[in-house]
Amino acid sequence: MSKIDVAIIGASGYTGGELIRLLYKHPKADVTTITSRKQEGQHVSSLHPHLEDVDLTFTNPENKDIDADLVFLAVPHGASMKIAPDFIENDKKVIDLSGDFRFQSIETYEKWYGIKHEHPELEAVFGLPEINREQIKEAQLIANPGCFPTGAILSSLPLVENQLVDRIILDSKSGVSGAGVKANPTTHYPTCSDNIKPYAITSHRHTPEIREQLHNFGTHDTKISFTPHLVPVIRGIITTNHSYLIKDGVTADDVYSLYKDYYNDEPFVKVLHDNNVPLLASVRGTNYCEIGGISLDDEDQLVVISAIDNLTKGASGQAIQNMNIMMGYDETSGLDHLGLYP
């Protein structure tokens, strides 16, 4: 089968750059269009210096003139909902990395994002393959999950689905690339280096996304609290998942076995050998979510740790995983390389 042509809208940003990097050696997809409003006419390496060998130049065409089988939208929320219909109408497959199409409830989207949804009629599949693989195969529009929700949901699913807990506290630490390429005071080096900043306490937009998805698997009574922290690393999210076991007689070994079985067939979720603790360093640049450090104290309080790379399993790698599923390719195509350590 010949390769498909892929376009990346917003390719000047961090997730766009990561898509180009990961797709460079993809056996079934060629990136043929990379767009940027500001970098038009510049070689890709003008913004992504590690992509020197990639033969691509930023362009800024009208959407209707983009000839591609599949389009990644790597632009901010609010922009995606305006762009997606142009491609959907032309029967292209679309994978949106923003939050615009992630919510089953438009009211929830509008409340948490503070803007009116312009295309609530467009139906998207929430692109977390570990829960929606069958629907992704048939989808035209994929809402790629948020970075924090990916690690948070994967660390919670076995507990919620088996109703072992009724409240979860998610304490997440993210690297600075999660905020995108545009400089801002929070990510300015003297502000974020040598520092840890809790932010959006009880108000982060990923909270309702995590809740909506987990409630599909458990009961709507499961309470979810989520607090992100900005830490002085470039890539990666560690989520420490705290909960309280409501079933008697369950041991930490039982929970570890539950996770092992639950994710046994998943190519990109690794429940670590010997329940080792996941590390940011070992998932960097990879599409893996590592889970481990599963521990229970003498008051039945459970801790589970997950680690992902926010730009890969948390964004562009997962988007390519979704592309592979949509196109009927091997799900791991272009994504099965190991991480870096140290």
Ligand X SMILES: NC(=O)c1ccc[n+]([C@@H]2O[C@H](COP(=O)([O-])OP(=O)(O)OC[C@H]3O[C@@H](n4cnc5c(N)ncnc54)[C@H](OP(=O)(O)O)[C@@H]3O)[C@@H](O)[C@H]2O)c1
Active site residue 192: no
Q: Which of 63, 98, 286, 324 binds ligand X (CB under 6 A)?
A: 98
Asked whether position 322 contacts ligand X by CB under 6 A, the answer is no
Asked whether position 81 contacts ligand X by CB under 6 A, the answer is no
Nearer to ligand X, 46 or 135 (CB): 46
Contact region with ligand X (CB under 6 A), list: 154-162, 179-187, 190-198, 282-290 = 179-187
Contact region with ligand X (CB under 6 A), list: 5-13, 22-30, 250-258, 282-290 = 5-13
Contact region with ligand X (CB under 6 A), list: 70-78, 115-123, 194-202, 218-226 = 70-78
Asked whether position 228 contacts ligand X by CB under 6 A, the answer is no
Binding pattern for the stretch 139-178 against ligand X, x by CB under 6 A and - elsewhere: -------xx-----------------------------xx
Q: Which position among 147, 160, 192, 302 bears the catalytic label? A: 147
Nearest CA-CA partner of 296 in 222, 215, 230, 241 = 241
Asked whether position 273 contacts ligand X by CB under 6 A, the answer is no
Rounded to whole angstroms, how far apart are CA atoms 326 and 329? Answer: 8
Asked whether position 79 contacts ligand X by CB under 6 A, the answer is yes
**Under the rule (CB under 6 A), what is the footprint of ligand X?**
10, 12-16, 36-39, 74-77, 79, 97-98, 146-147, 177-178, 180-182, 310-311, 314-315
The catalytic site residues sit at 147
